[in-house]
Structures are given as structure tokens and as C-alpha cells.
Amino acid sequence: MALRFEVLGRFNRARAARLTLPHFTCQTPLFMPVGTQGSTIKGLTTDQLETIGCQIILGNTYHLELRPGSQLIDDLGGLHKFMNWKRALLTDSGGFQMVSLLHLADITEEGVTFQSPVDGKPMLLTPEESINIQNNIGADIIMALDDVVKTTITGPRIEEAMYRTLRWIDRCIAAHKKPDVQNLFGIVQGGLDPVLRDICVRGLVERNLPGYAIGGLAGGEDKDSFWRVVAQCTAGLPEDKPRYVMGVGYPLDIVVCSALGADMYDCVYPTRTARFGSALVPEGVLKLKQNAMATDERPIDPSCPCMVCKNYTRAYLHCLVTKDPMGSQLLSYHNLSFMARLSRDLHMSILEGRFPEFVRGFLRVQFPKGDVPKWVHNAMEVAGIDISECCTPTNCQHDAMEAAGVDISEFCPPTRCP
């Protein structure tokens, strides 16, 4: 094991922790930006990422193995040195890209067979090969190769994938050559089925891994199913090890998952939405492409201390977005600053004993009319956080009546029912 995880503060299930990795000591909850081709975040330098406050960056194993190749990276001293990033790195197994990017990916017991995008030759990614590549790359955290299925799929495939994931974790553990400097995380699968998820959690916990990820979510499932799976998994995973919800990046989702006891998140959303001209703000999303922005002399977010908000107006950014790469660059910078600040706010508010107030403040700004989605209510109830003051009185009344088993739908106009 090459990490230390110390819980410094709590509120019910939520925890603020110190995660000590070989290259960096991190504070959780934290958000990890995703690098694609060769692990660079599109448009940003490593100096900028450090200034923004990024703690861990995701390297993309599939892309790195394609170009420049993990052996070359190893020969040159590992990815940290290659990309000049002093802090922590995490690599995924390569499996997700296989399934999402490539058309004829076929999953067998041996591994994932796919057509090479370079020359169309059939190729095979096995658990052993994935770990070997990740050993070469040298990230602080590496991910097991799992059998990923979309959450929208039903039937026996999900069970098959869950059991295969457990068989593959043993192969990953056996293949891992550097457990003293790289932490292998297992990934909980099982679709939306609580029984399968439970079996998977127990199976992975038995292997006594340094950390655990909750996979197979953030793929189109309904929000109620999403939070329930997260809640179930966090309840079953060990207290003293980090919990990573893969693919989660909407600020609201991160706040809810943190309330339920998760610690780490990754998503392309902040950087991808930047490239489409959208900035993350406390109220939600600001679309810089809109015509109204052409004459708006305010910064993206007056409360944001980042370089972009300190220097630029919405009007100037409007003339850049979607027409000039600089627009994507500046918005990516701001959006990652936003996510880094969110991570810091989550950590500090839990540490300083004001987490419920933070959550309420967050929801009030995102939902000024009080229309907090029902799934958030449900999740916060389980998390033990009272958010009733963030909702409009009529909403609460409806909920109260529903809880009491009284049908008041005839008094409630359809459009106003949550």
C-alpha cells in the first residue's frame, strides 16, 4: 500500500480527509480533471493546473499507450517527469475507452478484444496488460480492469460483468509489479441491482485494496437509482479507505455524493462544457455564446478569484468562445478553478463543522425558486442533512402529505408537482 488516508472531520456520512500519495498530499473530497491525449488538460499548462489547485489529474491509459506508448514513457522516467507534473496522477485501466470509443469491442474472459484504431488489427487488452501499461506510466493510483456495462442495460449481462470484475481483480493484483509506489483501486460493479452490488463490495473488500471506486454509474441512469447505488456502496466500503465515484462531475452530484460519504470524483464535464462555451457558476451554468453576453461587462463570476474572472468580461469571452481556441482555454481555466474551489469548500466545511450550512447555501443559490429536485431531497434525508428551508413551502407540503399517505394530487396542478 502506497497511500495513507486519515479522516480529519465528519458530518454523519460525509468526511474530510487527508490522502497522502507518493507524489502529493491531497485533501478530500476532491475533483480530478481528466487529461485526454497524453494526459494534458486541453489548453492548460501544468503550472496553470498547479495555480488553479488541482491535486490529482487523470491520465488516459488508452490514449497514452497509443501515443507515445507506455514503454517510452517508462524509459523516460514515468509520466510525472514526461509531462512535468509534480503532483498526483491517476490512470484508468483503458477499459472504458475501449467500450466507449471503439465499435466492435468484444469482452471475453480473457480480456477486451477490439480493433486497433491505427491499423484495424484485432488487439486484446487483458487485466495483466492493463496493469503492465499502468506500471510503466507510473501513476500514484492505478485502476483495475473491470467489465463495464452501461447502466441502461438489464438482464444477466450485469451479473456476468460483476463476477468477471471480481475474477479480474485477482489477475490485476497478481500482475501488479509496483504495489509499494502505486495504489491499485478495485471498482465496484453490479449495475443498479443492490444484491449484485453487495456481492461485489464484499468481494473487493476481502482483497484488502488501498482504495475503492464505484463504477458503472454516470451513464444515463435515473438520478434516484444513481444516489441509491452510491449510498449503498459507501455504506459497505471500509471507513478508512478512499472511495472514488467514477465519471461524476456535475457540482450538484458531487455535493450529494460527498454527503453520502464519497471522497474522489472525475469527469470530463467541466473541460468539455468549456469547449462548448459554457462556464460553471454558483447558480449553475453561464452560456457565453448567448447574444446577451456580447454587452455584459461583468466577469463570469464576481465571487471567483481566478485569473479569468480577475481579467476578463463576459463580453470579451463571448467574442472568443467557439471561434477562438483561447475561448476554450480561458473557460477551461475558470471551470477547473470552480471545481477546485468546490473541492476546497467541501473539505473545509466538513472539517470546520459547517457542512450542512454549506449544503443549504449551495442549494439555495442553485435553486433560488426552491425547486430542489426530489432525488436530492431523498439523498439528503439518508445523509441526515435537513434541506427543508431550501425548498418552497408548497413543495414541502406536498412531500409531507405524501409521507403521511394523503393523496393531494387533485389539488396540485401537474406542472408544480416535483
Partner 1 sequence: MRFAVTKVCASGAKARAGLLQIGSSGVETPALLLSTRKGLPAFMSPDLLSSLPLPDSLLLNVCPTHFIEVPPSKTISNIGGLHRMLGLPDHILVAAAGESTECLPSSDATNKFGASFETPAGRKLVKPSDYMELISCLQPNLWASLADEVPAWVNEKRNKTSVERTLRWLDACIALDAASGRNSLGVVVGGSSIEQRKLCATEVSKRNVSGFWIGGFGLGESVEERCSLLNAVTVRIMFFICKLLLPR
Any contact of residue 312 with partner 1 (CB under 8 A)?
A: yes
Angstrom distance (rounded) from CA 62 to CA 38: 9
Which residues sit opposite 90 in a β-bridge? Answer: 58, 141
One of 313, 378, 388, 392 touching partner 1 (CB under 8 A)? 313
Told to judge if 92 belongs to the known catalytic residues of this protein, a careful annotator would answer yes
Q: At 181, is the secondary structure helix, strand, or coil?
A: coil
Residues in region 29-68 near partner 1 by CB under 8 A: 43, 45, 47-48, 51
Largest Cα–Cα distance of the chain, in whole Å?
71
Residue closer to partner 1, measured from CB, 154 or 311: 311
Residue closer to partner 1, measured from CB, 164 or 318: 318
Angstrom distance (rounded) from CA 19 to CA 140: 11
Angstrom distance (rounded) from CA 115 to CA 122: 5
Question: DSSP assignment, residue 34?
Answer: B
One of 85, 227, 316, 358 touching partner 1 (CB under 8 A)? 316
- Does 92 count as an annotated binding residue? yes
Angstrom distance (rounded) from CA 390 to CA 378: 14
In the complex, the smallest distance separating the C-beta of residue 47 from partner 1, rounded to whole angstroms, is 8
Residues in region 152-171 near partner 1 by CB under 8 A: none
- Does 111 count as an annotated binding residue? no
- Does 332 count as an annotated binding residue? no
In the complex, the smallest distance separating the C-beta of residue 49 from partner 1, rounded to whole angstroms, is 12
Binding residues with partner 1: total (CB under 8 A): 26
Closest CA to 346 of 271, 256, 268: 256
- Does 189 count as an annotated binding residue? yes
Angstrom distance (rounded) from CA 406 to CA 388: 19
- Does 203 count as an annotated binding residue? no
One of 152, 154, 311, 409 touching partner 1 (CB under 8 A)? 311
Residue closer to partner 1, measured from CB, 47 or 222: 47
Q: At 211, is the secondary structure helix, strand, or coil?
A: strand
Any contact of residue 294 with partner 1 (CB under 8 A)?
A: yes
- Does 277 count as an annotated binding residue? no
Residue closer to partner 1, measured from CB, 291 or 303: 291
Angstrom distance (rounded) from CA 267 to CA 214: 14
Cβ distance 7 to 15 under 8 Å?
yes
The single residue listed with the C-alpha cell 485477482 is 170
Judged by CB under 8 A, which stretch of 83-91, 184-192, 305-313, 353-361 contacts partner 1? 305-313
Residue closer to partner 1, measured from CB, 252 or 307: 307
In the complex, the smallest distance separating the C-beta of residue 289 from partner 1, rounded to whole angstroms, is 11
Judged by CB under 8 A, which stretch of 18-26, 325-333, 376-384, 405-413 contacts partner 1? 325-333
In the complex, the smallest distance separating the C-beta of residue 337 from partner 1, rounded to whole angstroms, is 12
Cβ distance 117 to 66 under 8 Å?
yes
Closest CA to 29 of 13, 48, 43: 13
Active-site residue, selected from the candidate residues 92, 140, 147, 301: 92
Any contact of residue 12 with partner 1 (CB under 8 A)?
A: no
For residue 413, CA distances in Å to 118, 345, 373, 374, 390 come to 57, 38, 17, 17, 21
Any contact of residue 98 with partner 1 (CB under 8 A)?
A: no
In the complex, the smallest distance separating the C-beta of residue 328 from partner 1, rounded to whole angstroms, is 10
Torsion on CA atoms 223, 229, 231, 234, rounded to nearest 10: -140
- Does 54 count as an annotated binding residue? no
- Does 309 count as an annotated binding residue? yes
Residue closer to partner 1, measured from CB, 202 or 323: 323
In one-letter notation, the amino acid at residue 300 is I
Cβ distance 214 to 243 under 8 Å?
yes
First CA to last CA across the chain, in angstroms? Answer: 46
In the complex, the smallest distance separating the C-beta of residue 329 from partner 1, rounded to whole angstroms, is 6
Angstrom distance (rounded) from CA 28 to CA 351: 10
Q: What are phi and psi of 198, to 5 degrees?
A: -65, -45
Any contact of residue 318 with partner 1 (CB under 8 A)?
A: yes
- Does 240 count as an annotated binding residue? no
Q: At 143, is the secondary structure helix, strand, or coil?
A: strand
**Annotated binding-site residue numbers for Zn(2+):** 304, 306, 309, 334
**Annotated binding-site residue numbers for substrate:** 92-96, 146, 189, 216
Residue ranges binding partner 1 (CB under 8 A): 43, 45, 47-48, 51, 294-295, 297, 307-308, 310-313, 315-316, 318-320, 323-326, 329-330, 333
Q: Provide the annotated active-site residues.
A: 92, 266
**Annotated binding-site residue numbers:** 92-96, 146, 189, 216, 304, 306, 309, 334
